[in-house]
C-alpha cells in the first residue's frame, strides 16, 4: 500500500487562510514519515482529515489516495486507516482480550480463529496470557503495545500516529517506539507519525515539516 497526499490543505472553521502550505507527499509501504511543525499549524487536523474524522466546519482542498484509490469521499470506517494516539485508549469496560477482538477484521471468521488471532497478537506484544486483564491494570507501555495490536488486527491499509510515546519516560519510549515502528515496517504499512520529539524524527525514514 502507498499513501499519497496530493496538494492537501485545510482551513479551520472561521479562518480565512489555510493552516499550512498545500502538502503533497507519497508514503511508501512500510515507510514511517514523521510530521513536524509548530503548535497549531494543523498536524492533528491533518491526521484527522486523512482518517475521516475532521471536525465539521473545516474546509479542505486536495486528495488522499491509498494505492491509487481516492479515499477522501469515503466515510472513516470504509477507509481502512488505523489510528494510534497518545493516550492509547483501550475501552475501560472491556478486558484486554476483548479490546483486541474489537479491532479484528470482520474478514476473519470463526470464534476459534478469532480467539487464536488475539492470543497470538498478545504474545507478540509481550502480553501473553493477559486476555482477561482489566486495561487499568496495565502499565503505560503495555497499553500502547495492546493498542497497537488492536490497530494491526484490523489489517489497516495505512496507520496514523499522533504522539503516542510522549507520555512514556525516556527508556521505555525508545523500546516502545522500536516495537511499534518495527511492526509497521514488517507489515509494509505506510505510516504518518506526528511528533515534537527529536528521537521520533530520527527513528522515522524521513521528516516533513508543515509551515504556513
Ligand atoms: N474543532 C475545531 N474547531 C475549530 N478550530 C479547530 C478545531 N480543531 C482544531 N482547530 C484549530 O485548527 C488549528 C490546528 O490545530 P491542530 O490541533 O491540528 O494543530 P497541531 O499542529 O496538531 O497543534 P499541536 O502541536 O499543539 O498539537 C488550531 O488553530 C486550532 O485552534
Cβ atoms of 12 and 47 within 8 Å: the answer is no
C-alpha 162 to ligand 1 mean position (Å): 13
Ligand 1 pocket mutation pick from 44, 49, 210 by most atoms within 8 angstroms of CB: 44
Domains and CATH numbers, the chain: 3-92+139-209 (3.40.50.300)
13 CA closest ligand 1 atom index = 4
Mapping DSSP to helix (H, G, I), strand (E, B) and coil, where does residue 70 land?
strand
CA dihedral angle for residue 176, residue 182, residue 187, residue 191, rounded to 10 degrees: 70
Q: Which stretches in the chain have pLDDT values below 50?
A: none
The Cα–Cα gap between 18 and 22 comes to: 8
Amino acid at each position: 500500500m502507498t499513501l499519497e497526499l496530493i496538494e492537501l490543505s485545510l482551513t479551520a472553521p472561521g479562518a480565512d487562510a489555510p493552516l499550512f502550505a498545500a502538502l503533497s507527499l507519497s508514503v511508501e509501504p512500510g515507510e514511517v514519515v514523521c510530521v513536524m511543525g509548530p503548535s497549531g499549524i494543523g498536524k492533528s487536523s491533518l491526521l484527522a482529515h486523512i482518517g475521516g474524522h475532521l471536525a465539521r466546519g473545516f474546509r479542505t482542498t486536495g486528495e488522499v489516495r491509498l494505492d491509487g484509490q481516492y479515499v477522501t469521499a469515503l466515510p472513516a470506517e470504509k477507509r481502512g486507516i488505523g489510528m494510534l494516539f497518545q493516550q492509547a485508549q483501550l475501552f475501560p469496560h472491556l478486558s484486554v482480550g476483548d479490546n483486541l477482538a474489537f479491532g479484528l477484521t470482520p474478514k476473519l471468521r470463526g470464534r476459534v480463529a478469532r480467539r487464536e488471532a488475539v492470543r497470538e497478537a498478545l504474545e507478540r506484544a509481550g502480553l501473553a496470557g493477559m486476555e482477561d486483564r482489566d486495561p487499568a491494570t496495565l502499565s503505560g507501555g503495555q497499553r500502547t503495545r495492546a493498542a497497537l495490536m488492536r490497530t494491526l488486527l484490523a489489517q489497516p491499509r495505512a496507520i496514523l500516529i499522533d504522539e503516542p510515546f510522549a507520555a512514556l519516560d525516556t527508556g521505555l519510549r525508545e523500546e516502545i517506539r522500536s516495537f511499534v515502528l518495527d511492526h509497521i515496517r514488517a507489515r509494509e504499512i505506510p505510516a504518518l507519525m506526528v511528533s515534537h520529539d527529536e528521537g521520533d524524527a530520527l527513528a522515522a525514514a524521513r521528516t516533513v515539516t508543515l509551515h504556513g
